[in-house]
């Protein structure tokens, strides 16, 4: 469970923004969007109770009751079951005329889920939840990297970038832990104060789906209040508009599969609504571009696409109608590459990336520590004689550059050889020689 203080970790202005709407005009979105959501749910499910509407659309029952009462007066819906708990227990179904309207609503848009929030509300919420409320201290960063053996003080090169929440460039030869470091940063960011995000937003009369279950991990309902007690949202705790969810700060990771289309709104031609691009899903969290320079787009194309957002913190997306939508660009962008930065991008791009961290191969001392750590991980008794043999024959003797990944791979190969021969896994110069012959390419 993520522990935090509701009273101090969330801005009062944010809490006011998240208060549940009890009137249709308080939702901040066009009424026809809500009405068409109701039509689509009735068309899809046949008979729907107010409780079920509330569960799917996440709109307050009081608002739903008023809308449905008006739709009944207009003979678009009828009550199929009155229930036993008054109006809020009514079940509704479409009339013949209502069915025609529902089909028209389905033709315009097939989105069915939590009602969207306004683009302006989304912008404001992101602004209030990025920046100063996500400060990490040296101890946090050291703890996040403790499973890695890195040079002394390495955390001081990472922490400032996380706090700035802007950009970080990890570069250096392959096999030294750049991706692992980036993943540790993602866990660090995810473990900080969680973030309120809407499931969908509306802009230009269109619905843009923000929520991605693979990216947005919900935080358990229990929270810690200022007095140390626990409360549940919607229960004995603060009342929150259910169109917003509380999530761990998102971590989006992409590699060579990244295309230019992934950075633009994706329109579903059948469902007729939009899905947010990667950087929009990552707002308030982290976006890792792994193996930068090997994407299905040139680094220069990415430079041209993001040079303004990196500078301004604002991105511009385009709807099929041609309308441009201004959205926040507020996430920690991490570029990780084993290519020479000078061959990838120009100085204008590097200038906009605040922190550049070179991740080099380990020294002999660090290599020794990594080797011992991996021996424990694979259950192999460490043997000093075998380790010295490895250094002298395969590194010093061949002027081979050490990589942090080598101990793991060589010891894994050694265990595989022992298992193949049916003998107890152990270290010896002969076994390690066999592993090195299979692993290294001269």
* CA dist., res. 95 & res. 148, Å (int): 64
User: If DSSP states are collapsed to H, E and C, what string results for 207-270?
Assistant: EEECCCCCCCCECCCEEECCCCCEEECCCCCCCCCCCEEEECCCEEEECCCCCHHHHCCEECCC
Q: pTM for the complete prediction?
A: 0.86
* CA dist., res. 150 & res. 34, Å (int): 53
User: What pLDDT is attached to residue 234?
Assistant: 47
pLDDT, tens digit (0-9, with 9 covering 90-100), for 398-409: 999 999 999 999
Q: Are 176 and 222 in contact (CB under 8 A)?
A: no
Lowest mean pLDDT among 8-12, 240-244, 254-258, 377-381: 8-12
Most confident of 87-101, 216-230, 303-317: 87-101
Give the whole-number percent of the chain exceeding pLDDT 70.
93
Q: Model confidence at 30, in pLDDT bands (50, 70, 90)? A: very high
Taking all residues of the chain, what is their mean pLDDT, rounded to a whole number?
89
**Residue of 61, 62, 64 lying closest to 34 (CA atoms):** 64
pLDDT, tens digit (0-9, with 9 covering 90-100), for 279-298: 999 999 999 999 888 888 88
Torsion sign across C-alpha atoms 300, 304, 306, 310:
positive
Angle between helices 31-45 and 96-108 (to 10 degrees): 110
């Amino acid at each position: 469970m993520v522990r935090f203080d509701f009273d101090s970790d969330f801005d009062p202005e944010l809490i006011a923004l998240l208060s549940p709407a009890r009137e249709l005009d308080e939702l901040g979105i066009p009424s026809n969007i809500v009405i068409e959501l109701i039509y689509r749910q009735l068309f899809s499910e046949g008979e729907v109770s107010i409780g079920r509407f509330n569960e799917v659309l996440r709109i307050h029952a009081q608002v739903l009751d008023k809308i449905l009462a008006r739709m009944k007066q207009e003979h678009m819906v009828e009550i199929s079951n009155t229930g036993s708990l008054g109006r809020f227990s009514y079940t509704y179904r479409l009339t013949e005329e209502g069915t025609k309207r529902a089909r028209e609503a389905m033709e315009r848009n097939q989105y069915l889920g939590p009602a969207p929030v306004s683009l302006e509300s989304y912008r404001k919420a992101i602004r209030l939840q990025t920046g100063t409320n996500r400060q990490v201290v040296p101890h946090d960063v050291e703890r996040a990297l403790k499973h890695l053996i890195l040079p002394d003080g390495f955390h001081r090169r990472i922490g400032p970038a996380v706090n700035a929440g802007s950009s970080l460039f990890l570069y250096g030869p392959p096999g030294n832990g750049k991706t692992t470091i980036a993943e540790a940063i993602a866990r660090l960011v995810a473990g900080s104060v969680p973030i309120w995000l809407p499931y969908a937003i509306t802009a230009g009369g269109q619905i843009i789906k923000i929520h991605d279950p693979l990216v947005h991990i919900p935080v358990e309902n229990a929270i810690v209040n200022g007095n140390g007690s626990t409360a549940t949202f919607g229960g004995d705790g603060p009342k929150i508009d259910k169109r917003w969810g509380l999530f761990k700060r998102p971590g989006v990771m992409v590699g060579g599969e990244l295309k230019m289309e992934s950075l633009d709104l994706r329109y579903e031609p059948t469902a007729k609504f939009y899905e947010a691009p990667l950087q929009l899903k990552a707002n308030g969290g982290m976006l890792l571009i792994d193996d930068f320079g090997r994407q299905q787009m040139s680094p220069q194309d990415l430079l041209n696409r993001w040079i303004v957002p990196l500078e301004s913190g604002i991105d511009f997306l385009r709807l099929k109608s041609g309308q441009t939508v201004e959205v926040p660009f507020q996430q920690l962008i991490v570029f990780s590459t084993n290519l020479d930065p000078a061959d990838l991008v120009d100085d204008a791009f590097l200038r906009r990336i605040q922190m550049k961290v070179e991740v080099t191969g380990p020294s002999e001392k660090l290599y020794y520590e990594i080797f011992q750590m991996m021996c424990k991980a694979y259950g192999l008794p460490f043997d000093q004689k075998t380790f010295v043999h490895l250094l002298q024959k395969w590194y010093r003797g061949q002027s081979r550059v050490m990589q942090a990944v080598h101990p793991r791979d060589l010891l894994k190969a050694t265990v595989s050889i022992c298992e193949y021969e049916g003998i107890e896994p152990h270290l010896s110069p002969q076994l390690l020689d066999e592993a090195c012959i299979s692993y290294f390419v001269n």
